[in-house]
Structure 1
Amino acid sequence: MEHPEPDTRTLERSLGEYVRAVAAAVGVPDESTTVEISDTATAYLGLPRRWRDRPHHDVMLVWSERRGWSLAVETDPAEAVIVLAYHGGDNLVPPPDAVARFVADTAAGRHTGQERPRPVAAATRRSLAERLRPYLRDAPEPGSAVPAGG
């Protein structure tokens, strides 16, 4: 019998590979990213820039399976983050170069996203896994040995 939802480990790996592709497009090292699969799948990328109106606060790119990508300013731990823009569009998993353009345009003051989160139809974990599958193709299994010379 086939399971209706993918296992958490596979979903986490595929989301991780997608986030690494986005990080590369945005110019963020892997160590500045996190992925979490719990009741909601989420991702975080710490960006190497400050926001002009809040020069002492870091900027982050956040993804949620419920809202997609958003660009936000980190605040004090007791305060909610300040969302600058939401990516918008119908694609919950837009191509990494589209996410990079969204970040660059928003940082330049060309708001290409939305000021409010878009209503997203609840995606099943299976449909999310299908959208992320292309990013998992070439990723090695965790713990697998890399052949000598390759």
Structure 2
Amino acid sequence: MEHPEPDTRTLERRLGEYVRAVAVAVGVPAESVTVEISDTATAYLGLPRRWPDRPGQDIMLVWSERRGWSLAVETDPAEDPVVIARQGGGDLVPAPRAVAQFVTDTAAGRRPGQERLRPAATTRRVLAERLSPYVHHPR
């Protein structure tokens, strides 16, 4: 018998804990982090630094259950963000330190293999299971 999909609260809590761990690794304050579960699970981290080749624009680290992690330039709210780089490797839930290394490497102009492997499609049940190690305190 297959386990049912997790409820929205469970997925949001687990994704929130994972994204907070990524924020700590990247050096993003908690008030710059947002997680949303709707038709697509997404996360946003406003980076506290400027990008070398885009000094006048804010940069964000975004995650989606369909694409994984991306660095993008913030644009007008009515427009899609301009993606600078996507983290490759095929893992939707890479370790926070791997995400931090992706940010560091991209800022330094090193972008090896970012588009080689896109994350594999997964169910929300599998995603919730992958995120469960990041939940430290039951609520």
Match of 1:93 in 2: 93
Distance 1:41 1:78, change over 3 A: closer
Q: Tell me, what secondary structure is at the counterpart of 2:80?
A: coil
Residue-by-residue CA offset, 1:80-99 (whole Å, 9 max, x unaligned): 31111100112110000000
Structure 1 residue 23, shift from structure 2 partner:
0.2
Q: What stretches of structure 1 of length at least 5 have no aligned partner? A: 142-150
Distance 1:132 1:90 in 2: 16
Q: Tell me, what secondary structure is at the counterpart of 1:48?
A: strand
Contact kept, 8 Å, 1:106 with 1:113, in 2: the verdict is no
Match of 1:43 in 2: 43
Q: Does 1:52 align with 2:46?
A: no
RMSD (CA atoms)? 1.9
The number of residues matched between the two structures is 139
Distance 1:23 1:42 in 2: 14
Give percent identity, aligned residues only. 76
Residue-by-residue CA offset, 1:11-54 (whole Å, 9 max, x unaligned): 10000000000000000111100000001000000001112222
Q: What stretches of structure 2 of length at least 5 have no aligned partner? A: none
State the structure with more CA Rg: 1
Q: Does 1:128 align with 2:127?
A: yes
Distance 2:41 2:22 in 1: 16
Distance 2:57 2:116 in 1: 22
TM-score w.r.t. the length of structure 1 is: 0.85
